[in-house]
Amino acid sequence: MPFVVLISGVSKGIGKGFAQAYLSRPNHIVIGTIRESAASTPEVQELKSFPTADGSRLLLVQIESTSPTDAAAALQTVQDDGIDHLDIVIANAGGSPIPTTPLESVGFQEMTTTYQVNAVGPLMLFQACRPLLRKSQAPKWASISTGGSSIALMGTIRSWDGSSYAAAKAALNWITRRSGIHFTNEWLVAVTLNPGLVQTGPGNWIAKEWGLEKATYTIEESVEGMMKVIDGASREETSGKFLRLNGTELPW
């Protein structure tokens, strides 16, 4: 039986890095979600042509994070393809307005859209994926958050800079913790991951705002660290926790 991984937002950045890493493992089906507008981009074409390990393949489905119905429709496409379970779901798709807007001036539309993309979208994905996750022998859910979502660390790191994004990711943290500890999902391992400051477009922009030349981690370094955490995640030790790349716990 193939090992099935669904990753949201694989058109670029961390999501694309995850997809390539899992496709490099044998006997893996990687389901990647993309927006319709990204289907013909060079990055997606590169992902389609990525050399896979023996028995592995890529299936792309379309999900727009602000849509209330795309996730359910995408999961129907997955089942129509003959896939009857999901072993890992990585809720990676998200986004931050660049430049960021302080709390004192952030607008209604930015807050609403950022919550839709970073919190409501992953919730819709969880609801759509839940039946197929239940059919896995050891299902895992991982939400890609940010260190800026930690309320406890707000005075330590400059998370106040990105009010809409940090607040939306804090909501995602709640949703993930609820998924990983509540008695109705006792069969599921669910973790929240901080990818670190990664060398993507937004990550490098933030780094320069902080006076750094570039972000701390390459995409490959971040993905490798998070995959190790996911591989080792367990119901007893890590489910319902907020974790760094090295597996240590972050405060909420």
Instruction: Indicate which residues carry an active-site annotation.
Output: 165, 169
Buried b (16+ CB within 10 A) or exposed e, 155-189: eeeebebbbbbbbbbbbbbebbbebbeeeebeebb
Query: What Rg do the C-alpha atoms of the chain give, in angstroms?
Result: 17
Burial of 209: CB neighbours in 10 Å, binned 0-12, 13-18, 19+? middle
End-to-end CA distance of the chain: 37
Q: What are phi and psi of 125, to 5 degrees?
A: -65, -45
**Residues 219, 221: Cα–Cα separation, whole Å:** 6
- Residue 48's contacts (CB-CB under 8 Å, 6 or more residues apart) are 58, 60
**Residues 18, 49: Cα–Cα separation, whole Å:** 15
Burial of 192: CB neighbours in 10 Å, binned 0-12, 13-18, 19+? buried
Task: Name the pairing type of β-strands 189-193 and 140-144.
Answer: parallel
Half-sphere exposure of 207 (CA within 13 A, CB side): 16
